[in-house]
Chain A
Amino acid sequence: NAGVTQTPKFQVLKTGQSMTLQCAQDMNHEYMSWYRQDPGMGLRLIHYSVGAGITDQGEVPNGYNVSRSTTEDFPLRLLSAAPSQTSVYFCASSWGGGNRISGANVLTFGAGSRLTVL
């Protein structure tokens, strides 16, 4: 199994450009999410989805859009890139995430996408 696959691994953008970070999982996970990792800040949740057609905002959603048209894919769109969006982005998924699921929501992470905005 491939697990969680992110593309591209590296990207350099100019301020104002738009782009999409792709995320796909082959584990039939209901829950998918996007995090960004910045020095001294840990991992911060951008957006998440508890199933196809359902998305919601995390801690730092501004400047990002998501959609979930299939169970497998959860792309993250940067509408107009800014230098403050320079970061490493991680997509993660799990088998559950709604309140009907008990227990810990153990996430499987992708390898990350390093984005630099000049």
Chain B
Amino acid sequence: DQQVKQNSPSLSVQEGRISILNCDYTNSMFDYFLWYKKYPAEGPTFLISISSIKDKNEDGRFTVFLNKSAKHLSLHIVPSQPGDSAVYFCAAITRHQGAQKLVFGQGTRLTINP
């Protein structure tokens, strides 16, 4: 049962334009959502997060939007740069017997074209 889903395996965007990566979830008990970025042969690195009590969080070129009624999360990157080419993972925090656990989506490979 995939609780966090990224339905687009890949996305191609022109440099300077907006990149929008989407994520859907099924568990209404998730209380935090995060985006991680991963380059080849490296571990994922944290990008941005949002609490379930907010609907938007912005950090420089990166903005995450949360629509709780639709159980939908999106990451906007504007303007997109070649260095943004990477795999992006959406993740959600769930709690089990007192411990936090992250549940990840399948990932979306973003390619920024010059």
A→B interface (CB under 8 Å): 4, 31, 33, 35, 40-45, 48, 50, 56, 58, 90, 92, 96-99, 101, 103-112
A48 with B101: CB separation less than 8 A:
yes
A107 to B101, CA, bound (A): 10
A92 to B102, CA, bound (A): 11
- Closest chain-A Cβ to B65's Cβ sits at a distance in Å of 17
The answer to whether B80 has its CB under 8 Å from any CB of chain A is no
A40 with B44: CB separation less than 8 A:
no
What residues on A are CB-neighbors of B6 within 8 Å? 42
**Cβ proximity bits B92-103 to A, threshold 8 Å, 1 near / 0 not:** 010111111111
A96 with B106: CB separation less than 8 A:
no
B→A interface (CB under 8 Å): 4, 6, 9, 32, 34, 41-46, 49, 51, 89, 91, 93, 95-107
Task: Contacts A40-B9, A56-B97, A104-B32 given; indicate if A112 touches B102 (C-beta within 8 A).
Answer: no
- Closest chain-B Cβ to A112's Cβ sits at a distance in Å of 6
What residues on B are CB-neighbors of A98 within 8 Å? 98-100
B43 with A40: CB separation less than 8 A:
no
Q: Please name 12 further chain A to chain B contacts, defined as beta carbons within 8 Å, in addition to the given A42-B104, A106-B46, A112-B41, sorted by A numbering.
A: A41-B106, A43-B91, A43-B104, A50-B99, A58-B101, A90-B43, A98-B98, A104-B93, A105-B93, A107-B46, A110-B43, A111-B41
What residues on B are CB-neighbors of A110 within 8 Å? 43
Pick from B45, B89, B98, B105: contact of A99, CB under 8 Å: B98
> A35, A43, A96, A99 — which one has the most chain B CB atoms within 10 A of its CB?
A43
A92 to B95, CA, bound (A): 17
- Closest chain-A Cβ to B83's Cβ sits at a distance in Å of 19
A23 to B43, CA, bound (A): 13
B106 with A45: CB separation less than 8 A:
no
A81 to B42, CA, bound (A): 24
What residues on B are CB-neighbors of A56 within 8 Å? 96-97, 99
